[in-house]
C-alpha cells in the first residue's frame, strides 16, 4: 500500500497515524440529536416485524433512535384475565430496541380503550378497582423496570372540551384515578419519565387547558409527572399547518408547569391518492411541527406513528384518507417530505447515540433545560427551500434560493419559504 501524505508527514515527525473517527450516518434521528433532542423515533407493532425489509428500516438508528410499541403493552394484551400477565409481545419490541441501541417509549398503562371485559364489566367498587389499577401498573412497570425511557401512564382521559372522559376508572374512582396511576408507576420504576398522553392538545384551546389541569392535578396529589405527550394525529393543510409560534406558545404553557413535552404519535393524513399539492403542503406541515419542537428546549423528542404508509392505521379508520407518513407503501422515502424534515432539523454536528443497555435508562434521559439549539451551516452559499436561514445564534447562510423568502418563525428560527 502506498503511504498517504499524512502518514508520511507523521512518520517524519516520529508520530503514529490513527484512524479518523467516521461521521455518523445522516438521518432524522442524527439531526434531531444534533439539534439538542434525545431522539427521533417510530412506533411499531408485532405483526409487521415479520417484514424483514421493514425491520431493516426501523433498525436504522440514523433515522430512528427510539421505538414505541403500538399495542403490545396495552392492558388487553398484558393482563387479559385478572392476575394473569403476558409480556411476550411487549418483550419482542423491547428486545428489538435493546438490540438496536434505541430508546424505548412504553405505551400505555391506563386507557379507556382496549380494556378486557373483566375490567370494564366487572362491577367493581371503588376500593377494589383502585387495587386492580395499582396491581396492573405495578406488575407491568416492574417487568420493564430500567428499560423504558418514558411511560405513557394515562392516555386520552379528556373530552374535546377539556372535561374528563367518562370511563370505568373515572366513573368508579373519579379523577383521582389519574394521580393514583402516576404514583403507582413512580413507585415501580423511579427512573422512568412519566407522561400524560392525548390528541388534539397540540394547539391552545379547551383540551390543551384540560391537559395542563391534569398536570396540576397530579402535582397537587404529590405524585410524580414528568411530561405531556402530544399525539399529533394531524390533517394536511388543517391541523399541523399552524405557525411555529403557535406550536411553541402551546408547548411553553406546559413546560411552564415544570414538565417536558414530546410529540408522541405524529402522522399527517390527506385524501388519497395524494395530489402533488397535498404532498407539498404535507412536507411544509411536517417541517412546521419539527421547528416547533426544535425551538422549545423541553420538547425532548418526536415519534411518528409508524414510519411507512404500508402499516399506517389511518386508512382503516378514516375512509378515503391516508398517505400520512414520510415513507410510502413500498418503504421508499417520500423525497419532498423527508427532505423538508431533514432541513427543518438543520445541519448539526451531533452523532447518533451509541447502543445503550436496556438494564438502565440512558443518562441522556434527564430533563433538557439548555437554551434551544441553533444549527450552524457553512458560511456563504444559498439556503434551499425549507432550510434555516436565520435566528438567534445562526451563523449559516441567510440568502434563500430563488423563489423563496427568509421567513421568521420565531426568534430562534427563520426558514426559506
Question: Count of CB atoms within 10 A of residue 179's CB?
Answer: 21
Sign of the CA dihedral 249, 252, 256, 262?
positive
Q: Which three cell numbers stand for residue 102?
A: 434505541
DSSP state of 49: G
- Do residues 283 and 324 make contact, with C-beta atoms less than 8 angstroms apart? no
Q: What 3-state DSSP class applies to 117?
A: helix
Report the run of H or E that residue 43 belongs to, with start and end: strand 39-44
Q: Which of 369, 353, 278, 280 has its CA nearest to residue 39? A: 353
HSE-CB at 356 with a 13 A cutoff on CA atoms is 23
- The whole-angstrom separation of Cα 227 and Cα 27 is 26
Q: Is 265 annotated as catalytic?
A: yes
Beta strands in 282-403 (DSSP E): 299-304, 321-322, 382-383, 388-390, 399-400
Q: Residues 12, 14, 19, CA angle at the centre, nearest 5°?
A: 95
Name the active-site residue from 48, 79, 265, 329.
265
Catalytically annotated residues? 265
Amino acid at each position: 500500500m502506498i503511504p498517504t501524505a499524512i502518514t508520511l508527514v507523521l512518520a517524519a515527525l516520529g508520530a503514529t497515524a490513527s484512524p479518523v473517527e467516521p461521521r455518523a450516518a445522516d438521518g432524522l434521528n442524527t439531526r434531531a440529536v444534533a439539534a439538542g433532542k434525545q431522539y427521533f423515533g417510530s412506533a411499531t407493532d408485532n405483526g409487521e416485524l415479520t417484514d424483514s425489509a421493514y425491520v431493516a428500516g426501523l433498525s436504522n438508528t440514523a433515522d430512528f433512535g427510539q421505538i414505541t410499541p403500538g399495542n403490545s403493552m396495552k392492558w388487553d394484551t398484558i393482563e387479559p384475565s385478572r392476575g394473569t400477565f403476558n409480556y411476550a409481545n411487549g418483550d419482542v419490541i423491547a428486545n428489538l430496541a435493546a438490540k438496536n441501541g434505541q430508546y424505548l417509549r412504553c405505551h400505555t398503562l391506563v386507557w379507556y380503550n382496549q380494556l378486557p371485559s373483566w375490567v370494564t364489566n366487572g362491577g367493581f367498587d371503588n376500593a377494589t378497582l383502585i387495587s386492580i389499577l395499582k396491581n396492573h401498573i405495578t406488575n407491568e412497570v416492574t417487568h420493564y423496570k430500567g428499560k423504558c425511557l418514558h411511560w405513557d401512564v394515562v392516555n386520552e382521559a379528556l373530552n374535546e372540551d377539556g372535561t374528563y372522559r367518562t370511563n370505568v376508572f373515572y366513573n368508579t374512582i373519579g379523577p383521582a384515578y389519574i394521580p393514583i396511576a402516576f404514583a403507582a408507576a413512580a413507585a415501580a420504576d423511579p427512573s422512568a419519565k412519566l407522561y400524560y398522553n392525548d390528541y388534539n392538545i397540540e394547539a391552545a384551546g379547551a383540551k390543551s387547558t384540560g391537559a395542563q389541569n391534569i398536570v396540576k392535578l397530579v402535582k397537587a396529589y404529590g405524585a410524580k409527572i414528568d411530561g405531556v405527550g402530544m399525539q399529533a394525529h394531524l390533517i394536511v393543510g388543517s391541523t399541523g399547518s399552524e405557525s411555529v409560534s403557535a406550536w411553541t406558545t402551546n408547548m411553553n404553557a406546559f413546560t411552564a408547569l415544570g414538565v417536558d413535552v414530546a410529540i408522541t404519535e405524529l402522522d399527517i393524513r390527506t385524501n388519497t391518492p395524494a395530489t402533488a399539492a397535498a404532498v407539498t403542503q404535507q412536507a411544509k406541515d411536517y417541517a412546521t411541527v419539527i421547528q416547533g419542537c426544535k425551538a422549545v428546549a423541553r420538547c425532548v423528542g418526536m415519534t411518528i406513528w409508524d414510519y411507512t404508509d404500508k402499516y399506517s392505521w389511518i386508512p382503516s379508520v378514516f375512509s378515503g384518507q391516508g398517505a400520512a407518513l414520510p415513507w410510502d407503501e413500498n418503504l421508499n422515502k417520500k423525497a419532498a417530505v423527508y427532505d423538508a424534515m431533514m432541513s427543518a432539523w438543520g445541519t448539526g454536528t451531533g452523532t447518533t447515540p451509541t447502543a445503550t443497555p436496556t438494564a438502565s435508562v440512558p443518562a441522556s434521559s434527564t430533563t433538557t433545560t439548555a437554551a434551544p439549539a441553533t444549527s450552524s451551516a457553512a458560511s456563504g452559499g444559498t439556503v434551499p427551500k425549507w432550510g434555516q436561514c436565520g435566528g438567534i445564534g445562526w451563523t449559516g447562510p441567510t440568502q434563500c434560493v430563488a423563489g423563496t423568502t427568509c421567513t421568521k418563525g420565531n426568534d430562534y428560527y427563520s426558514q426559506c419559504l
